[in-house]
């Protein structure tokens, strides 16, 4: 037949380098910044924008800034940048609020204890998960409360009106998430239930809280909660905010958990049932462990939103981090043109560090869970 089509390669063509350079800065620039004329124009505009925006920003934050140890006069000088000296001077206020200075060791212990308990909890390979979780979610809040509030073991009582700053921000966020996790799980289970009354109640609860802004929830908690209680009951202001934040956040958490429940293959429910497990046994041993594991990134994202939302409690008069910064910005002793901006930059930086770290953690977990799924 057509033998002229026959071809056999006797010598392998060895790999040779690509024509022209394939790496190095020039190639990188051409590929990523100047690939087409449109790209080139965009790049030039982008560089111009950065040239315009970055030097003043740098000068404000570092270049012309007044660092700790500086004086208010330096901050008031023409063209001075951020007044970090002011932040340093009021730092304790931003962290502890009006907490008595000689009692700072108490929040410090709480901070240290919290960090020591939460870090191993975040590392998936760390041992003793159950004990660790029990310590963090049950023991730690109780210990912290008695330590911060005092009134026992000879500790001086420090009423919650004196709590403030980053401490309160963290307390609200942590209490919010710790209390809303069980509540959220129950609501999610209820919403998935085939018992009509329970399902309706859960749907109504979840949708109501998700529909309204947190600020109205906080108003409601701070104004209406005292009305709901028996006459003469005095509900602590911080506690009111905590109740509002928890209810609000549990509705969002319920929706996240529901996503995890729905993502579980039906076979898991059937397998559990076929083993003769009752509803609660099935849920506790089979369904929840898998569903929760899947929605950890979602829960962390909820936590980020909650953490940012804690700043709203300043509207009902609680001295969280943002409110202490806001209050300190009218401190006459440090009055300078950049006082307010410096305060906001500082508060922003604190919030950003926490939120960014959490969002990276959630991304990391997501990738980890993804690969675990494929294998």
What part of residues 296-335 is at the interface with another protein (CB under 8 A)? 304, 308-312, 314-315, 322, 326, 329
Answer for which of 63, 213, 289, 317 binds another protein (CB under 8 A) is 213
Residue 198 interacts with another protein (CB under 8 A)? yes
Taking the CA atoms of residue 229, residue 234, residue 235 and residue 236 in that order, the dihedral angle to the nearest 10 degrees is: 180
Q: Is 1 in the site for another protein (CB under 8 A)?
A: yes
Contact region with another protein (CB under 8 A), list: 69-77, 106-114, 127-135, 347-355: 347-355
| Residue 27: alpha-carbon gap to chain centroid | 40
Question: Is residue 215 part of the contact set for another protein (CB under 8 A)?
Answer: yes
Q: How far is residue 136's CA from residue 118's CA, in Å, rounded to a whole number?
A: 7
> What is the smallest separation between the CB atom of 226 and another protein, expressed in angstroms?
8
158/287 with CB nearer another protein: 287
196 binds another protein (CB under 8 A): yes
Q: Which residue, 124 or 289, is less far from another protein as judged by CB?
A: 289
Binding flags for another protein, 13-32, as an x/- string (CB under 8 A): x-xxxxx--xx--------x
State how far the alpha carbon of 227 is from the alpha carbons of 123, 128, 209, 246, 313, in Å: 44, 44, 20, 19, 20
340 touching another protein, by CB under 8 A: yes
Between 285 and 356, CB nearer to another protein = 356
Residue with tokens 């956040």: 249
Question: What SS3 string covers 265-312?
Answer: CHHHHHHHHHCCCCHHHHHHHHHHHHHHHHHHHHHHHHHHHHHHHHHH
Nearer CB in complex with another protein: 134/229: 229
Binding pattern to another protein, positions 270-289, x when CB under 8 A? x--xx-xxxx--xx------
Helix axes 237-263, 288-309, angle to 10 degrees: 140
Site for another protein in 72-101 (CB under 8 A): none
Q: Do residues 318 and 327 make contact, with C-beta atoms less than 8 angstroms apart?
A: no
257 and 186 Cβ atoms separated by less than 8 Å: no
When asked if residue 157 is in the footprint of another protein (CB under 8 A), the reply is no
């Amino acid at each position: 037949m057509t033998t002229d089509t026959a071809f056999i390669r006797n010598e392998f063509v060895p790999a040779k380098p690509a024509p022209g350079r394939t790496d190095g800065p020039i190639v990188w620039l051409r590929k990523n910044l100047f690939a087409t004329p449109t790209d080139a124009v965009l790049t030039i505009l982008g560089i111009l924008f950065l040239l315009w925006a970055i030097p003043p920003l740098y000068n404000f934050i570092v270049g012309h800034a007044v660092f700790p140890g500086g004086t208010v006069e330096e901050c008031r000088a023409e063209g001075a940048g951020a007044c970090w000296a002011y932040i340093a001077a009021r730092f304790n206020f931003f962290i502890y609020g009006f907490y008595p200075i000689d009692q700072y060791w108490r929040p410090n212990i709480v901070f240290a204890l919290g960090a020591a308990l939460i870090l191993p909890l975040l590392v998936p390979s760390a041992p003793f998960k159950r004990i660790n979780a029990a310590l963090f979610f049950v023991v730690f809040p109780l210990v912290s409360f008695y330590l911060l509030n005092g009134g026992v073991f000879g500790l001086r009582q420090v009423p919650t009106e004196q709590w403030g700053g980053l401490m309160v921000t963290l307390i609200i966020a942590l209490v919010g998430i710790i209390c809303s996790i069980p509540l959220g799980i129950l609501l999610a289970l209820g919403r998935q239930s085939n018992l009509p009354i329970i399902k309706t109640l859960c749907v109504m609860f979840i949708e109501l809280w998700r529909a309204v802004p947190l600020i109205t929830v906080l108003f409601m908690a701070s104004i209406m909660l005292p009305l709901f209680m028996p006459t003469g009951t005095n509900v602590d202001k911080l506690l009111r905010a905590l109740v509002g934040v928890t209810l609000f956040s549990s509705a969002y958490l319920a929706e996240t958990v529901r996503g995890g429940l729905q993502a579980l293959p039906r076979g898991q429910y059937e397998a559990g049932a076929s083993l003769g497990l009752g509803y609660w046994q099935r849920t506790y041993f089979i369904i929840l462990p898998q569903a929760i594991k899947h929605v950890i990134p979602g829960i962390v994202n909820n936590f980020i939103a909650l953490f940012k939302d804690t700043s709203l409690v300043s509207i009902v008069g609680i001295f969280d981090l943002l409110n202490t910064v806001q209050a300190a910005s009218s401190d006459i002793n440090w009055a300078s043109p950049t006082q307010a901006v410096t305060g906001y930059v500082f508060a922003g930086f604190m919030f950003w560090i926490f939120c960014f770290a959490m969002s990276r953690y959630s991304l990391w977990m997501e990738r980890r869970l993804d690969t675990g799924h494929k294998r």
